[in-house]
Amino acid sequence: MKAPILKTMSGGKEVETPSAIEAAALRSDRFRQEREWDWLRLEDIVARMEKGRLRNLSDEDVLALPALYRTAASSLAVARETSLDAATLRYLESLVQRAWFQVYGPRIGFFAWMRRFLGGGLSKAMREIWLELCIALAVMVAGTVVGWLLVARDTEWYYALVPTQFADTRVPGASREQLLEALSHDGGSEGLSAFAAFLFSNNAGVAIMAFALGFAFGIPSLMLLIHNMAVLGAMLWLFNSQGLTLEFAAWLSVHGTTELFAILIAGAAGLHIGRSMAFPGKRSIMTAAAESGRRAAQVMAGVVLMLIVAAFLEAFPRQLVQDTYAQLAIGGIMLAFWLGYFFLFRRTPREAQE
């Protein structure tokens, strides 16, 4: 069926002209023909990206992708404004949505992200906060020394520093046998799962607090590290007074090399944000905080994984392994693993993805 024809007068003569519907169709066809090549090229690039064929894209295609996306988005805006045909609108809406996801949306799934994160992203972020790690380490060592000296000067400081759940038989004046008993366990595994959950919650709370306090320019994070390490210094003094320094260090090292390392990293991550806010340079404070926050968030994801490992080590190997040198071996292996992974593992996230 032919489109209806309207007759108009032009110069006294009757002239046949297309109807409004036919004119709109012609306008839509002309609009599509003028831009269709760009749309088809964009669709081809997007289709290959959706299938994971990124290596097949040429440099020209990669460089053209943002411009082609903007052209398609502009075409969609014009199509909506001029009420072009429904088929063109649906096509452009679908194409722009798919292209937006490839240009701006996440390009990898959770497992691919985790592979990149553990395969180089975490260790890279850790190396980028090396200065804060050194500062936090110095503060933790100083806190341990302060706790030792305070208790050595006045034993009343022990009761002020050490939490009540640790001050059972582990108090000044306890005999060597009592302190050794506190380090031992009957070897049973009953209830250790619940104990692991409790320890993870406790350790995670300390680490998260050390990180969160970094937003106050890092000062509270440093104070928290000093206080927690002063507790360790006080307990070191107690066991050293009975000649049990090696036994206590072995008992602690099973989980402590992972747990204390995690707390160190959390404090350094908070300090990293605080230092960026205190000394933003040419950036605004909010920009500096956002940039350092993204890096610190990666580091804290690693801290959570370390705390899970520490809770397992504290609840099971530490309770079940009684030999002093075996305990030292476990703690030493874990420390060597973390140091090697964070500071010697140089694989980049891009290499991990490939």
10 pLDDT higher than 60: no
- Both 92 and 179 in one domain: the answer is no
Q: Answer with the one of 55, 81, 103 that is the final residue of a domain.
A: 103
- Both 134 and 152 in one domain: the answer is yes
Listed ranges 52-61, 251-260, 304-313, 330-339; the one with the highest mean pLDDT = 330-339
What is the predicted pLDDT for the residue at 189? 46
- Both 98 and 179 in one domain: the answer is no
Lowest mean pLDDT among 36-50, 185-199, 310-324: 185-199
- Both 64 and 156 in one domain: the answer is no
Q: How confident is the model at residue 145 (pLDDT cuts 50, 70, 90)?
A: very high
* pLDDT 10s digits, 179-221: 888 787 544 444 455 555 555 676 677 788 888 888 777 888 8
Q: How confident is the model at residue 258 (pLDDT cuts 50, 70, 90)?
A: very high
- Both 322 and 189 in one domain: the answer is yes
- Both 158 and 306 in one domain: the answer is yes
What is the predicted pLDDT for the residue at 236? 95
What is the distance between the alpha carbons of residues 166 and 160, in angstroms, rounded to a whole number? 12
Domain residues for the domain of 156 are 111-353
Average pLDDT over the chain, rounded to whole? 81
What is the distance between the alpha carbons of residues 72 and 74, in angstroms, rounded to a whole number? 5
- Both 154 and 87 in one domain: the answer is no
Q: Answer with the one of 84, 103, 122 that is the final residue of a domain.
A: 103
What is the predicted pLDDT for the residue at 187? 44
- Both 40 and 77 in one domain: the answer is yes
- Both 139 and 259 in one domain: the answer is yes
- Both 29 and 138 in one domain: the answer is no
What is the predicted pLDDT for the residue at 131? 94
- Which is more confident, 328 or 185? 328
What is the predicted pLDDT for the residue at 70? 87
What is the distance between the alpha carbons of residues 340 and 346, in angstroms, rounded to a whole number? 10
- Which is more confident, 186 or 254? 254
What is the predicted pLDDT for the residue at 2? 46
Q: Answer with the one of 74, 103, 132 that is the final residue of a domain.
A: 103
The count of structural domains within the chain is: 2
157 pLDDT higher than 90: yes
350 pLDDT higher than 80: no
Lowest mean pLDDT among 168-172, 265-269, 280-284: 168-172
* pLDDT 10s digits, 274-309: 888 888 888 888 888 888 888 898 999 999 899 889
One-letter identity of residue 40: L
Q: How confident is the model at residue 105 (pLDDT cuts 50, 70, 90)?
A: low
- Both 96 and 118 in one domain: the answer is no
- Both 198 and 53 in one domain: the answer is no
Give yes or no for a contact between 123 and 211, defined as CB atoms under 8 angstroms apart: no
